[in-house]
Every structure is written in C-alpha cells, then in structure tokens.
C-alpha cells in the first residue's frame, strides 16, 4: 500500500463494501462491484468498476487505488492483472462463518479500525451463539440448501454453518466444505435420499422457481415438498460472505425454519 491507512480503496465484492460502511470508513471507498447493494446508498455514492469475474482494469487504475479488496479464486486473474500493474491487493477467501468474522477483523485492521471491527465481529458471534442456545435440545429439521438449479449445487460453508446456528441440520455438510462450486453438485436422487424437511433456495442472480422445484420427478415424496416447506432466500442476503449473511440472511433462514407449512 502507498499509505496507511489506505485512502483510496476499490472493493471487487460487496461484503467488504458493507463492512467498511459499518465501520464508518466508507469515505475510503472509491470504486465498487456492480453487485454492491448494501447499504442502498452505495449505488449512487460509489462508481461501479467490476462484475464478479470481470473488471474494468483501466477504470480501476484511473482511480489510483492504494488498495484493492477481492474475493476467491474466481477473481484471481483480476488480482493478478492488478498486481502486475503495481496495485496492492488483498484477496479474501472466506468459506465459513469463522472466515466471515475474520474478514471483518482483517478489513478493520487494514484501515486502522481494529477495535471497531472486533466489536462488530463479536456482536455477530454473540447473536449466533444466542440463537444456537435457544435451539439447544430441540428437534433439528433436515435442510437442503440449493445455490443453483442446473446443475443442482448445494450450500457453501457459511450457509451450512448458519443453518446449524438457526437450529437446522444441513443434509450435505461435507460438501459444504468443498472449495469449488463444481464439487458441491448433487443429483436429484441424492436429495430424495436425504429427505430434507425444509428446502431453502437461492439461485445466484435469478429468481427461484418454487413450482419447478416442486415438480421435479420423484420429489413429491420429499417431506419438504409434501409439506410445502420450500422457501427462497434472496441471493444478496445469503450468498454474500459477510455482514449480510450474518444478519439478514441468518434471519431469513431462522424465519423459514420457524414456518411449519406453506402459509403457516
């Protein structure tokens, strides 16, 4: 970095944007991902410089960033191009709740707001622990989380963790620890065999079609389908590995697990 704390930060994914706003450090942000929607004012306050797997490198370089924050192997090529251009980058790769909390603490440290970041992370951890304590001893419904429909991709690590904190039981917990989405692909037969009590779906970038899920061959026998317990969770809430998932995404999971039947 040219300066510490960095004065000009570009965020290529939305969770670091929201974290900086929550820490009161949003003045440092000079460019964001086109997917950044939290808080709502970010759409009008900050220029958009990237999608998820692509970025406008000349536009980013023109902003003269001290630091670029990125996420996952899917942005590795963007990061490499920026590094070759002499830009300081930090690529996060959080895949579970602990990783999300570590990201918040790290962002805080990078901008000289470590104490505020620690307090924020601890508040999220305490809320999750409180929810888990409330569910101790209760029957844990089996939950299938669908991140994509064709092919069917089961939930990533932080989603699986949040299902557990909410009192549910992820039916594919081992797959949730896989790094790549292709390693979380499941078959219709596997889901039928898992017999989930609840189906949660969040198809990244498009609306979930509950009727299409219900009509899949052989799925009428799945308890979740038979009882109408199929719920969409909006992708900006749950597929963003940071504050959104830890707050509104988690609340949506808890609400879905509390509903005993469709409309009930």
Residue 58 has which token pair?
Answer: 């000349």
- Residue 263 is predicted with a pLDDT of 40
Domain count, the chain: 2
Q: Are residues 147 and 233 in the same domain?
A: yes
Within a domain: 113: no
User: Is 163 domain-assigned?
Assistant: yes
pLDDT value of residue 261: 45
Domain match, 15 and 85 both:
yes
**CATH number of the structural domain spanning residue 54:** 3.40.50.1980
- The reply to whether 20 and 77 lie within a common domain is yes
In this structure, the answer to whether residues 163 and 252 fall within a common structural domain is yes
Q: Is residue 107 in a domain?
A: no
Which of 73, 93, 113 marks a domain boundary?
93
The closest alpha carbon to 52, from 15, 100, 20, 104, belongs to 15
The pLDDT value recorded for residue 2 is 72
Q: How many Å apart are CA 222 and CA 63, to the nearest integer?
A: 52
CA atoms of 213 and 199, how far apart (whole Å): 9
In this structure, are 142 and 76 located in the same domain? no
Residue-range definition of the domain harbouring residue 83: 9-93
| Of the residues 93, 126, 142, the one at which a domain ends | 93
Is 41 contained in some domain?
Answer: yes
Among residues 74, 93, 112, the one where a domain terminates is 93
Taking only the tens of pLDDT, the chain with its 264 residues reads 678 999 999 999 999 999 999 999 999 999 999 999 999 999 999 999 999 889 999 999 999 999 999 999 989 999 999 999 999 999 999 999 999 999 999 999 999 999 999 999 999 999 999 999 998 889 999 999 999 999 999 999 999 999 999 999 999 999 999 988 899 999 999 999 999 999 999 998 799 999 999 999 999 999 999 999 999 999 999 999 999 999 999 999 999 999 764 443
Same-domain check for residues 77 and 158: no
Same-domain pairing of 152 and 78: no
- Name the strand (E) or helix (H) holding 225: helix 223-226
Give 134-141 contacts, CB < 8 A, sequence gap 24+. 134/167, 135/166, 135/167, 138/167, 140/167, 140/168, 140/169, 141/167, 141/168, 141/169, 141/196, 141/197, 141/198, 141/257
Identify the H or E element spanning 66: none
Q: Is residue 98 part of a domain?
A: no
Q: Please indicate, yes or no, whether residues 86 and 169 belong to a single structural domain of this protein.
A: no
Residue 53 sits in the same domain as residue 155: no
| Any domain includes 119 | no
Pairing assessment for the beta strands 9-11 and 29-33 based on DSSP bridges: parallel
pLDDT at residue 260, as a whole number: 67
């Amino acid at each position: 970095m040219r300066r510490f704390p960095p004065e000009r930060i570009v965020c290529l994914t939305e969770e670091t944007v929201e974290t900086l706003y929550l820490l009161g450090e949003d003045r440092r942000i000079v460019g964001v991902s086109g997917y950044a929607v939290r808080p709502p004012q970010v759409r009008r306050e900050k220029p958009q410089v990237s999608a998820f797997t692509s970025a406008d490198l000349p536009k980013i370089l023109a902003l003269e960033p001290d630091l670029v924050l990125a996420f996952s192997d899917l942005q590795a090529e963007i990061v490499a191009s920026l590094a070759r251009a002499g830009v300081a980058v930090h690529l996060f790769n959080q895949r579970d709740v602990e990783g999300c909390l570590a990201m918040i603490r790290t962002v805080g440290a990078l901008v000289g707001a470590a104490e505020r970041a620690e307090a924020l992370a601890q508040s999220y951890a305490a809320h999750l622990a409180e929810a888990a304590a409330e569910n101790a001893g209760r029957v844990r419904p089996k939950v299938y989380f669908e991140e994509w429909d064709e092919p069917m991709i089961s939930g990533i690590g932080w989603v699986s963790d949040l299902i557990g904190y909410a009192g549910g039981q992820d039916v594919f917990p081992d797959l949730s620890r896989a790094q790549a989405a292709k390693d979380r692909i499941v078959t219709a037969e596997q889901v039928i065999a898992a017999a989930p009590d609840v189906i949660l779906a969040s198809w990244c970038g498009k609306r979930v079609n509950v009727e299409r899920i219900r009509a899949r061959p052989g799925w009428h026998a799945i308890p979740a389908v038979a009882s109408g317990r199929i719920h969409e969770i909006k992708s900006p809430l749950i597929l963003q590995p940071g504050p959104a998932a830890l707050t509104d995404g988690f609340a949506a999971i808890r609400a879905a697990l509390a509903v005993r039947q469709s409309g009930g």
